[in-house]
Structure 1
Amino acid sequence: MEAFNVRICVVAACLFLASQATGYTMDDLCKQWSGTGYIGNPSNCRGWGYCKNQQTVKWGTCGDELVFNAQTGSCEYATTTPCSTSAVQTCSAIKSPIYVANLLNCTEYAHCDGQGKIAYGDCGVGGVFSESTTSCKWGPACPQDNICRFMPSNIFVGDPNKCGNYINCINGYGTSTACTESPSIYYNAATGKCQSTNPCTGGNTNSGDSQFTVGQISEEACNTEDFDAAEALTVDGETVDYKYVSDSETCYGYYYCAKAGALGYWNQCPTGTQFNSKLGKCVSPASFVCTHNRCGNVNSKFMAVEGCLSYTICSSGATASCPSTSKYYDEVNNICTNTIPKYTICSST
């Protein structure tokens, strides 16, 4: 790694954004694994769960100053073990300099100085950061957008982003793979085996209502008006020529535009985040107001309607409300509360 953007995080704000960095729950993880054992909690790097029969049957939290290492299935000291859900928490505790992924933006990496501070760098045009190799690589797929971060090593699981595929998790990483031995071309997460019949129902996806594919080209997306209106980006403290332009149809999709009038290349935010066009980056859905389908790319059962006095049921698109005694819906913690949550989605009415 060379130069990086020296911007020190305000810890409280960064921890809030990191709280929705993955979009998975422990139940989501267990559904993809036919085996039995401990897994990490995607919303709390100190937390753990225990999978059996594709269900979370036990859960708990490591003690103070410890984090859960899903690959080893044990609680380990936060001073030596990265937090799987937050670069900020990692840097606040780790005692040796280390590079880790920024889970809110796959093109960025974070540098912990071993003394509690964090600074960010950028992989540049077309690059993404791979935490397993602590280096930048060619995108667009994000190595960290993977359930293997929270699963034991050396197991096979179903791919929650593409039902019928499997992932071989090794040391927190894995690649979606299709079964190839005909006629057994579909992976069944319940049995851990490939089979000839399709076990998928069509609802097993994080992509919501997307009609786009990664790398899809648009001749109109980078038009001069939209390009000029897009937020200017800086890398290593200097403004770059390219911009990210919203696809204007989803909350999580954007186009990479090298310049005004160039071809646009579609990409999507890491699971659990959405694209804020005013910032030109992927952030927590609760930190801004998207006027499209907010259920896309989040793997959540419910998402707040602007103002948080009601919420959307993602499986049906219907709207529901909390009881009058706790009238506000807090989508980050998935609870109804009598105090309005301090998120932009709740305070923007």
Structure 2
Amino acid sequence: MIALTVNISQVKALSPDQTCKLVQNNTYIADPNNCQGWILCRNGAGTYGTCNDDLYYDSTNGVCDFPQNVNCNTNVETMCSGLTDVYKADPNDCNKYCYCHEGETYCVKCPTGQVYDSVAIKCVWASSSSCIANSPCLLVQNGFMGDGKSCNGWLRCADGQVVSKGVCGTDRYFNPNNGLCDYPQNVKCASNPVGPPGPSVNEDPVAPAGLCKKAGYFYSDNLSCTGYFYCPKANDQGQFGKCPKNSAFSESLQQCVDPDKVVCNKDRCDGVTKSFMAIANTKCMQYYNCRDGASYAQGKCPSGNPYLNEIAGVCQEKKPNYPICN
């Protein structure tokens, strides 16, 4: 069996104004031109300020701290302040690195085709290392942010680097204000500045006209894996309901059952606490990544262990005997 991961590929750095549109409202990010500087992102715009008493802004933890406690990666001229015999990556050039000695900065370039790897502390071939100068996470605290490329893309940042990335499930946008995959009408995005018209997220769905053909029957809402309409009388208005957490509605069985017993083509992360859920009609060879009851990425099990066991949360060699896998 093999653990599940999200693939990472290199992405480009963003300006403070671009970054402010992708992080949670009232988030502080680093000023790329000043180790003491911070920027308050509010309503997609930045307000600049500085730490008091010669403190540096620590973008990883979101606080002002003593310079010796802060890894300032925003400015070549000041990043060596207070440091001796330390190598640092140039925050603006993947091909360069700097040696800090008694607060002074001495920068050199790697050979052609190589970049400086701050973990290995040496120059390596560009294909084998990510570069902090190209990281959109360079200015932000650890956590989630939008990817700046699409309305549904997200990045997870740690220590100034992108550690995972993905996209929200069908009909969901990444909402930087709450760090979740949300309904499009709740998200302001560059390609969706005001959000398309639609029902409020708090409103229950309305049963389609003519749905209630049988009295005392439960019908799927055809919008999710957990929603249903109950029809007390034929030709009546259906009453909306949802299955409890970690269950899904089966119209054929007329009840809520374990999710793996239902072949549902909607977001199977809805209402579950599991981290991985198989995608319908893929024979459990592909899966959703789940967080807070919604999908935020998709993955595929490797060839040696091609099937997801969603109960165990691992890929395995033998196909599980679940209806969702058939």
Smaller-chain TM-score bracket = 0.3 to 0.5
Higher helix proportion: 1
TM-score normalised by length of structure 2: 0.45
Which protein has greater RCO, CA pairs closer than 8 Å, 6+ apart? 1
TM-score normalised by length of structure 1: 0.43
- Based on CA coordinates, which of the two structures has the bigger radius of gyration? 2
